[in-house]
Structure 1
Amino acid sequence: MVLNDSEQGSNKKNQRAAARHRRADALRRRALSPVRIIFMILMLPATTAAIAVGVFLRTSEFEGPDALLHLVALAGCQAAEALVPGPYWDGEPGYHARNDTDGDGVACGATAPQFAPPQPAADPQPAAAAPQRQVGTAKFVRP
């Protein structure tokens, strides 16, 4: 039995359509794979962190390596000194006020202890004055 031209053309179209459907099904199976979905969910925090670090490095007042040191110094003095040994002065990369325990403008550095000057013992303390009014301590009377 010999097929005419119209039957051969429709047969080729059916084969192409079937191949297209097979490719679409395979693509759909890969896209909706549970392993792929779980992997994407697990990678979401890493992707978010990478984007946040990239934005910080680009918008920081410091250049790239200094901005990275400044970001690491937020984790504490031990993490910052693992990259670059301190001390870090106020206004420079790596300085954060929370790492400056004594408030002298030097973070993560060994500083000499500062002693308070001695107070004269002859000055008597003034009598306790009436406490000042503070915001938020008002008492309201019912009308």
Structure 2
Amino acid sequence: MRKRALSPIRIMLMVLMLPVTTIGIAVGVYLRTSEFEHDEALLHLIALAGCNAVENIVPGPFVAGGPGYHKRNDPDGDGVACDTRSVVFEPSAPPQHTEAPAARRVGTAKFVRP
């Protein structure tokens, strides 16, 4: 019995399953403590991966304060994340050419005191 319990294969499987177990516990705790219903909370977690991941499950724009809305998925800042309408960026001024920065030298870092 002891020989079987300490087998290298069993120990290796336990070590490899540790991240899966940890993620399962974390998702379970989030689903129980979230302000959303269980299905909405799961949608909110999936939306953390990005718009492409969540739109494979549920299409549509997600409004601020609702499940699926994350500020990083809202590039124009209008309170609607993962909206399907294309955003056209118009440059306000032509790009300015700037000079290349001076070559770096030893001792020019801001955090080094002379």
Shorter-chain TM band: 0.7 to 0.9
The residue that corresponds to 2:31 in the other structure is: 57
TM-score, length of structure 1 as denominator length? 0.59
The residue that corresponds to 1:90 in the other structure is: 64
Alignment equivalent of 2:12, drawn from 38, 43, 47: 38
- When you count helix as a share of all residues, which structure comes out higher? 1
Q: Distance in 2 between matches of 1:39 and 1:115?
A: 51
Query: Over aligned residue pairs, what C-alpha RMSD do you find?
Result: 1.8
Q: Distance in 1 between matches of 2:36 and 2:10?
A: 38
Question: Taking every aligned residue pair, what percent have the same amino acid on both sides?
Answer: 66
Unaligned runs of 5+ in 2: 91-114
Unaligned runs of 5+ in 1: 1-26, 117-143
Across the two proteins, how many residue pairs are aligned to each other? 90
**Structural mapping, 1:5-20, within 5 Å:** none
Runs of 4+ in 1 over 3 A off after TM superposition: 111-116
C-alpha spacing 1:112/1:38, structure 2 compared with 1 (3 Å)? closer
- Alpha-carbon distance, 1:82 to partner: 0.8
